[in-house]
Amino acid sequence: MPDSFLKKLADAQQIYSGFAELSYHSHQRELIYELDQIKLYHYQAKVKKPDAIPLLVVFATVNRPEILDLLPDQSFLGGLLDNGADVYLIDWGYPDSDDNTLSMHDYISHYLHACVLFIKKHSHQKQINVLGICQGGLLCLCYTLMYKEVKNLILISTPIDFSTRDHVIARVLKQIEIKKIIEQSGNIAGAWLTQFFISLRPFELIGKKYLNFVDQLQNTSFIDSFLRVEKWLHDAPDQAGTAFGELLTLFYQQNKLIKNELMLGGKKIDLAQLNVPILNIMAREDQITPMSASKVLKQYVGSNDYTQAIFDSGHIGIYISKKVLARMPRMIAEWLRERS
Amino acid sequence: MDKEKKTDFNQNWYDIWMKQSQLFFETAEKNLKNMFDTPTPIDPEAHAKEINAWLENLKKQWQFTELNMQQKEYEAYWRMCAKMSNEAAEMILAQWTLRAKEKNPIKNIRELYDLWLDCCEKIYEKAMQSKAYQEAYGDYMNAVLNFWQSTMPK
């Protein structure tokens, strides 16, 4: 191995080791409500007169919402604020062993509902807008059907049909013996989820990624972004066993949502009853939620106001790509304003 | 019950990558260094013996005559990886030869590493679409999940 390359590897290792200490949040926000481990944040508006109807952003419980505001000048939440949105964010926290019996119904009817009611009161509005991301999109979709509190529903990379041909992750997850594992140990280790996502594309997410990192050591802006994303990638919370088990069995393994067989908390989740305006956003290169799994939503919902948008990016890239961030937040804000 | 989790950053993927790539660079250095010391790029077909010796070294990481208990739990996945490693080796040789013919030769070990990553990625992506691989991968993930569960507080 050439000495110069060896030295670069060693230098890179030194720089890499500092990522855990990096700060995470870019935009000013205030913690306005807490319930158990769940926190609700309100972001400081960046325009004089933000939109009257609040926008609640709901990330997946899998992974942390920090990816939405990782860098000051490459921030999805920052983009929404720039475009006049009044942004709230749920932080699901880090479930511990006390939380292993939390179900999807608990997340929807207890936590999400409590946050929505709080925001209504906080903003003096009768309804609010909700933006759900990936599994967070599923929670929002079910919530919108179960309660009449949502004015407009925005979904990003939200899987609806778990049986499409190119949905590799769904096929693999069908093999996971989730019930047995949860019975044995309660929650699901976040470290396993990280390993799972990396092992879907190991040569890109380990080999090429770190080689690129070594090559770009002199590029301080690149290194800063790289290390923040790396910190986020490693910061995967453990998952409440019951809720995660339901996600895998009811959605990924049994595909009950589009079969019209899904029951949560004794209520049927019937997509045909979904009548609010819907903006369904997808990433063209998304391998976690391929477009084929999302775009079928239109066939199942009752809404007459359905908009689909596709951006050239991946499942996570969509929140940090400069090109996408120049367009997506503005598009969301305009879509909402037309329906306010 | 607000117990902020102290993130476990001990699983250092950069370290894992360094160790894995070390095998590549060390075996390439040992078997191929002379080929890249020449002023003009080499024709890989003329050095098939050295190249094959190096590729055999790379393949060895997936070959175990006796599997330990942990490896047995994901034996099918392990064998899939060995098969993919063989396919990637064939692809590397073919691409290397093609590039030499197209006057876009591999000029150093670093470029060879880039080619190796490209070939492995293509083979892996194709394998992920097959039912056999998905089943083996599912078994492997069950084993890995069991391992991580054992590290969690009860």
How does pLDDT run across A24-41, given as a tens digit for each residue? 778 999 999 999 999 999
Shortest distance between the Cα of A38 and any Cα of chain B, in A, equals 9
State mean pLDDT over A302-311.
98
Q: How far apart are CA A83 and CA B111, in angstroms?
A: 45
How many CB pairs lie under 8 A apart between chains A and B?
140
Contact call for A177 and B134, based on CB within 8 A: no
User: Closest to B142 (Cβ–Cβ): which among A12, A17, A176?
Assistant: A176
The yes/no answer to whether this complex scores an ipTM above 0.85 is: no
Residue of A nearest to B30 (CA): A1
Model pLDDT, residue B2: 38
pTM to 2 decimal places: 0.89
Q: What integer best gives the mean pLDDT of chain A?
A: 93
Contact call for B148 and A192, based on CB within 8 A: yes
Phi and psi of A321, rounded to 5°?
-75, 125
Q: Strand A150-156 and strand A87-91: pairing?
A: unpaired
Q: Which amino acid, one-letter code, is at B33?
A: K
Name the helix (H) or strand (E) containing A7: helix A3-16
Q: How far apart are CA B17 and CA B15, in angstroms?
A: 5
Report DSSP state, residue B65.
S
Calculate what percentage of chain B has a pLDDT beyond 90: 15
Contact call for B141 and A198, based on CB within 8 A: no
- Residue B37's beta-bridge partner residues? none
Q: How far apart are CA B47 and CA A62, in angstroms?
A: 50
Model pLDDT, residue A151: 98
Q: What integer best gives the mean pLDDT of chain B?
A: 79
Model pLDDT, residue A196: 86
**Rg (alpha carbons) of chain A, rounded to whole number:** 20
- Tokens 């919370």, located at residue: A237
Domains of chain A: 3-18+27-337 (3.40.50.1820)
Render pLDDT for A5-20 as a digit per residue (tens, 0 to 9): 777 888 888 888 888 7
State mean pLDDT over A177-200.
82
Of A321, A314, A272, the closest CA to residue A297 belongs to A272
Please say if the pLDDT value at position B154 is more than 70: no
Total count of residues recorded for chain B: 154
Model pLDDT, residue B5: 47
Range from A239-248, A288-297, B78-87 carrying the lowest mean pLDDT = B78-87
User: Closest to B1 (Cβ–Cβ): which among A98, A186, A199?
Assistant: A98
Contacts of B13 in chain A (CB under 8 A): 198, 206, 210, 234
What is the DSSP secondary-structure string of A73-116? Answer: TB-HHHHHHHTT--EEEEE-----GGGTT--HHIIIIIIIHHHH
Q: How far apart are CA A229 and CA A24, in angstroms?
A: 10
Shortest distance between the Cα of A66 and any Cα of chain B, in A, equals 14
Model pLDDT, residue A45: 94
Q: Which of residues 63-82 of B touch A (CB under 8 A)?
A: none
Render pLDDT for B38-78 as a digit per residue (tens, 0 to 9): 777 778 888 888 888 888 887 776 666 566 666 677 778 87
